[in-house]
Structure 1
Amino acid sequence: MYLMNSYKIGIKRACAVAGLTRSMWYYSSKRDDSELIGKLSQLAVAYPTRGFDEYYYRIRREGLKWNRKRVLRVYRQMKLKLRRKHKKRLPGREKCPLEVPLELNECWSMDFMSDSLTDGRRIRVFNVIDDCNREALASDIGLSFPARTVIETLENLRDEIGTPKYIRCDNGPEFLSKLFINWCQRHHIEIRYTQPGKPMQNGYVERFNRFFREDILDAYYFNDIYQMREKVWEWTEDYNNNHPHSSLGNKSPREFKPRFSKELKFFAESG
Structure 2
Amino acid sequence: MKGKRYTEQQILDILGQLDAGTPISDLTRLHGVASATIYRWKAKYGGMTKEETRKFRQLEVENQRLKKLVADLSLDNVMLKEVVGPKVVTPGMTSQAQTSLKRQMVTFLQEAFPVSERRACRVLGFSRTTQKRKSPKRVKDQLLVERLRSLARQRPRFGYRRLHLLLSREGQAVNHKRIYRIYRAEGLAVRRKERRKLSVGERQQKPVVSAPNQRWSLDFMSDQLASGRRFRVLNVVDDFTRECLVMQVGTSITGHDVVHALEAVVRFRGAPQGITTDNGPEFAGKALDLWTHERGITHHFIRPGKPVENACIESFNGRVRDECLNLHWFQSLEQARLILSIWREDYNDVRPHTSLNGRTPNEFARLEEAG
The alignment status of 1:176 with 2:284, answered yes or no, reads: yes
Letter of the aligned partner of 1:235 in structure 2? Answer: W
- Structure 1 position 180, deviation (Å): 1.0
2:215 corresponding residue in structure 1: 107
CA contact (8 A) 1:242 1:252 kept: yes
1:154 corresponding residue in structure 2: 262
Secondary structure of residue in 2 paired with 1:218 = helix
Q: Which of 221, 230, 252 is the matching residue for 1:144?
A: 252
Q: Matches of 1:177 and 1:210 in 2, distance apart?
A: 26
2:236 corresponding residue in structure 1: 128
1:77 corresponding residue in structure 2: none
2:136 corresponding residue in structure 1: none
Between structures 1 and 2, the one with greater helix share:
2
**Matches of residues 32-47 of structure 1 in structure 2 within 5 Å?**
none
- Structure 1 position 214, deviation (Å): 1.1
Q: Matches of 1:202 and 1:220 in 2, distance apart?
A: 27
Question: Could you list the per-position Cα deviations for residues 39-96 of structure 1 after superposition, in whole angstroms to 9, with x for gaps in the alignment?
Answer: xxxxxxxxxxxxxxxxxxxxxxxxxxxxxxxxxxxxxxxxxxxxxxxxxxxxxxxx75
Q: Matches of 1:235 and 1:259 in 2, distance apart?
A: 23
Question: Could you list the per-position Cα deviations for residues 116-175 of structure 1 after superposition, in whole angstroms to 9, with x for gaps in the alignment?
Answer: 111111100000000011000011000011101111101111112111000011010111
Secondary structure of residue in 1 paired with 2:216 = strand
Secondary structure of residue in 1 paired with 2:267 = helix
CA contact (8 A) 1:100 1:131 kept: no
**Matches of residues 72-83 of structure 1 in structure 2 within 5 Å?**
none
Secondary structure of residue in 2 paired with 1:258 = helix
1:9 corresponding residue in structure 2: none
Q: Matches of 1:259 and 1:251 in 2, distance apart?
A: 10
* Count of residues in Structure 1 that have an aligned counterpart in Structure 2: 169
1:36 corresponding residue in structure 2: none
Q: CA RMSD in A?
A: 2.1
1:209 corresponding residue in structure 2: 317
Higher-Rg structure is: 2
1:134/1:209 Cα in 2 relative to 1: closer, same or farther (>3 Å)?
same
1:235/1:100 Cα in 2 relative to 1: closer, same or farther (>3 Å)?
farther
Q: Which of 336, 340, 344 is the matching residue for 1:228?
A: 336
CA contact (8 A) 1:125 1:142 kept: yes
Q: Matches of 1:141 and 1:96 in 2, distance apart?
A: 31
Secondary structure of residue in 2 paired with 1:232 = helix
Secondary structure of residue in 2 paired with 1:171 = coil
Question: Could you list the per-position Cα deviations for residues 102-123 of structure 1 after superposition, in whole angstroms to 9, with x for gaps in the alignment?
Answer: 1111100000000111111110
2:272 corresponding residue in structure 1: 164
TM-score (structure 2 length as normaliser): 0.44
The alignment status of 1:246 with 2:354, answered yes or no, reads: yes
Q: Matches of 2:208 and 2:325 in 1, distance apart?
A: 28
Q: Matches of 2:283 and 2:367 in 1, distance apart?
A: 26
- Structure 1 position 100, deviation (Å): 3.9
- Structure 1 position 215, deviation (Å): 1.6
1:249/1:136 Cα in 2 relative to 1: closer, same or farther (>3 Å)?
same
Letter of the aligned partner of 1:182 in structure 2? Answer: L
Q: Which of 269, 283, 298 is the matching residue for 1:190?
A: 298
Q: Matches of 1:248 and 1:259 in 2, distance apart?
A: 11
Q: Matches of 1:256 and 1:158 in 2, distance apart?
A: 20
CA contact (8 A) 1:96 1:192 kept: no
Q: Matches of 2:207 and 2:298 in 1, distance apart?
A: 15
Gap regions ≥5 residues in structure 1: 1-94
Q: Matches of 1:183 and 1:235 in 2, distance apart?
A: 29
- Structure with the bigger RCO (C-alpha within 8 Å, sep 6+) is 1
Secondary structure of residue in 2 paired with 1:257 = helix
Letter of the aligned partner of 2:358 in structure 1? Answer: N
- Structure 1 position 258, deviation (Å): 2.2
1:157/1:224 Cα in 2 relative to 1: closer, same or farther (>3 Å)?
same
Secondary structure of residue in 2 paired with 1:97 = coil
CA contact (8 A) 1:107 1:167 kept: yes
Q: Matches of 2:234 and 2:243 in 1, distance apart?
A: 14
2:108 corresponding residue in structure 1: none
Q: Matches of 2:270 and 2:248 in 1, distance apart?
A: 18
Work out the percentage of aligned pairs sharing the same amino acid: 39
Q: Matches of 2:352 and 2:208 in 1, distance apart?
A: 17
- Structure 1 position 259, deviation (Å): 8.8
1:96/1:164 Cα in 2 relative to 1: closer, same or farther (>3 Å)?
farther
Q: Matches of 1:161 and 1:136 in 2, distance apart?
A: 13
